[in-house]
Amino acid sequence: MCYAIPGKVVEISNKIVTIEYFNEKKKARNDFFELLPNDYVFAQGGFVIQKVPEKEAISIIQTWKDLFFRLQEKDQILTLKKDNIYELANSIRKEHLGNSCCVHGIIEFSNYCIRNCLYCGLRKDNNKIKRYRMSLEQIIKLSEYASNVLGFKAIVLQSGEDLWYTDEKLLKLVEEIHKKCSIFLILSIGERDINLFKKLYKAGARGILLRFETGNENLYSNLKEGQELKKRINLLRELREIGYLIFTGFLIGLPNQTFEDIISDIHLTNKLGAEMFSFGPFIPHPETPLKYIPRPSLKLILTVIAKARILYPESKILVTTALETLDKKNGAYLGLKSGANSLMINITPQKYRKMYEIYPQRADVELSAKNKINKVINLLQSLGRAPIDLGLNLKQKA
Ligand code: 5AD
Ligand code: SF4
């Protein structure tokens, strides 16, 4: 099963192409390919990532067509009730974005970090965790496997802020992956020099995952030991100007954070032009100064998802692993039923996953990527959702 449906190019206007899927038109940006009307393409996150031979495209579309409409019908039935804010948010999601659900893969390639965030198990002063780094070759091979064998169309490469990966190494990594894989590549490598991000964009990276963590300046500088919120926000703005799609958001349940803080964080996420809202619960780690802070309730997280959906109906909202950790059995299901419409699957080699301990007992350390894919597909089908990204709506700017 793949994570994008080919669409037919029906119009080309410079870098913006209009693509038709099952009679619906969407726009996408084409930076990498020579395209003509009637060509078939995969688009992801609003970018064309691969040209697909006509025969192959028609066969994939044929396989999907019936299932897609059946799933749509199921989604329709499951969103009839609007008796509480979760149901209301879910029906708003359906009205505005339909039943497609982005499923991205994530590779956590290093757990070294030069920072000392009070909330995070990877903080530099935590000498109880075993550190690891994947070599460039390992990361490239794994990306190829994720793209060419598992069928992912979007992959996040994530690490702590680890300067072992020099500018040259990161550039080589992105260039190689761009050459070898037809994927939408998202980087989550913390705060690096803006010139490096410009070069990485040129090399083929198109998304940045960087949370602002909290929009409350005092909380931010206390939790991130003297770092400035303004600097982070400026960086996010500059990254967007370069052309990156921004995946950003905040933590819920930080000490001294109020509900008003959280609501203004939803607005800030939108103001930053986030392609994807990524917010989730803070989960205390025993080897950090915040070990005694209690976890936030599941209800609070679901309420924030629902609020974000109601305030910003067109947004993509991620079910985070931290939410899945808060309720291992139903976290993802409940998140998707409260307005969320995106998921990530961990494809980090299993021997490293336990070591990427941002917080303890993470939900996704045990299941292999293949088993998790099956679990996600079953979950999505039970909810009438399709594991595909149909590009940007015509209403949205490309
Ligand atoms: N609980 C939940 N999320 C955390 N992160 C860091 N520490 C924790 C924690 N204890 C999140 C931060 C960071 C991302 C990589 O992990 O939001 O941006
Ligand atoms: Fe490092 Fe990010 Fe953890 Fe802070 S939150 S310690 S920057 S990995």
What is the structure's pLDDT at 320?
A: 95
Inter-CA distances, 297 with 64, 86, 199, 294, 328, Å: 38, 15, 41, 9, 13
Q: Given pLDDT bands bounded at 50, 70 and 90, which one contains residue 61?
A: confident
Work out the average pLDDT over 160-187. 97
Q: Are 20 and 138 contained in the same domain? A: no
If asked whether residues 216 and 330 sit together in one domain, one would say yes
Is the per-residue pLDDT at 29 higher than 50? Answer: yes
* pLDDT of 229 higher than 90: yes
Give the separation between CA 162 and CA 114, rounded to whole angstroms. 6
Higher pLDDT, 398 or 119: 119
User: Does 106 lie in the same domain as 53?
Assistant: no
DSSP per-residue string spanning 47-59: EEEEEE-HHHHHH
What is the CATH classification number for the domain harbouring 18? 2.30.30.140
With respect to residue 256, please indicate whether it lies within any of the assigned structural domains.
yes
Region 159-164: mean pLDDT is 98
| pLDDT > 90? residue 100 | no
Burial class (CB in 10 A: 0-12, 13-18, 19+), 77: exposed
What's this model's pTM, rounded to 2 decimal places? 0.93
Q: At 396, is the pLDDT very low, low, confident or very high (cuts 50, 70, 90)? A: very low
Judged by average pLDDT, the poorest of 161-170, 218-227, 277-286, 362-371 is 362-371
Q: What is the pLDDT of residue 133?
A: 98
Query: Which 8-state DSSP code applies to residue 145?
Result: I
Same domain, 62 and 125: no
d(Cα 230, Cα 241) in Å, to the nearest integer? 16
Judge if 105 and 61 occupy the same domain: no
Same domain, 139 and 60: no
- pLDDT for position 3: 59
Spacing, Cα 170 to ligand 1 middle (Å):
23
What CATH number has the domain bearing residue 112? 3.20.20.70
Assess whether 178 and 267 both reside in one domain: yes
Mean pLDDT of 312-337: 95
**Segment of 60-64, 177-181, 222-226 carrying the highest mean pLDDT:** 177-181
Does 119 contact ligand 1 (Cβ within 6 A)?
yes
- Is residue 211 scored above 60 in pLDDT? yes
Query: What CA–CA distance (Å, rounded) separates 310 from 84?
Result: 12
Name the helix (H) or strand (E) containing 95: helix 85-97
pLDDT tens digits along 34-48: 999 999 998 887 888
For residue 120, the CA-to-ligand 1 centroid distance in Å is: 6
Please report the beta strands in 93-143, taking only residues with DSSP state E, as ranges in sequence order.
102-110
Report the atom number in ligand 1 closest to the C-alpha of 290. Answer: 10
Residue having the nearest C-alpha atom to atom 8 of ligand 1: 120
Rounded Cα distance between 135 and 126, Å, is 23
Least confident of 152-166, 336-350, 370-384: 370-384
CB 194 within 8 A of CB 207: no
Q: Which ligand is nearest to the CA of 223?
A: 2
What is the share, in percent, of the chain residues with pLDDT greater than 70? Answer: 97
Whether the per-residue pLDDT at 313 is higher than 80: the answer is: yes
pLDDT over 80 (residue 388): no
Give residues with Cβ within 8 angstroms of 62, minimum separation 6. Answer: none
* Residue 85 falls inside a structural domain: no
For residue 286, the SS3 value is: coil
DSSP-derived pairing of the beta strands 280-281 and 245-248: unpaired
Domain that holds residue 158: 96-397
* Structural domain contains residue 341: yes
Q: Which 8-state DSSP code applies to residue 148?
A: I
The ligand 1 atom nearest the CA atom of 249: 17
Considering the domain boundaries, does residue 114 fall inside one? yes
Task: Give me the number of domains the chain comprises.
Answer: 2
Let me know whether 140 and 44 are in one domain: no
Is residue 42 one of the residues assigned to a domain?
Answer: yes
The model's pLDDT over 73-85, given as tens digits with 9 standing for 90+, comes to: 999 999 999 999 9
* Residue 251, domain member (yes or no): yes
Above 60 in pLDDT, residue 352?
yes
Question: 84 or 389, which is more confident?
Answer: 84
Give the range among 130-134, 189-193, 224-228, 262-266 with minimum mean pLDDT. 224-228
Higher pLDDT, 47 or 165: 165
Q: Are residues 325 and 210 in the same domain?
A: yes
**What distance in angstroms lies between residue 115's CA and the mean position of ligand 2's atoms?**
6
pLDDT band at 2 (very low <50, low <70, confident <90, very high): very low
364 pLDDT more than 80: no
Give yes or no: residues 14 and 145 share one domain: no
CA 310 – ligand 1 centroid, Å = 25
Confidence at residue 391, expressed as pLDDT on a 0 to 100 scale: 53
Q: Give the ligand whose atoms come closest to the C-alpha of residue 188.
A: 1
Q: Does some domain include residue 16?
A: yes
- Report the mean per-residue pLDDT for the chain: 92
- Regarding predicted confidence, which is higher, 373 or 289? 289
* Cβ-Cβ contacts under 8 Å for 117 (sequence gap 6 or more): 123, 213, 223, 224, 225
359 CA: nearest ligand 1 atom: 10
State how far the alpha carbon of 21 is from the alpha carbons of 18, 50, 389, in Å: 10, 15, 11
Same structural domain, 117 and 39: no
Q: For residues 67 and 142, state if they share a domain.
A: no
Closest residue by CA, ligand 2 atom 2:
160
Indicate whether 1 belongs to any domain: no
Q: Which residues contact 171 (CB under 8 A, 6 or more apart)?
A: 196, 199, 200, 203
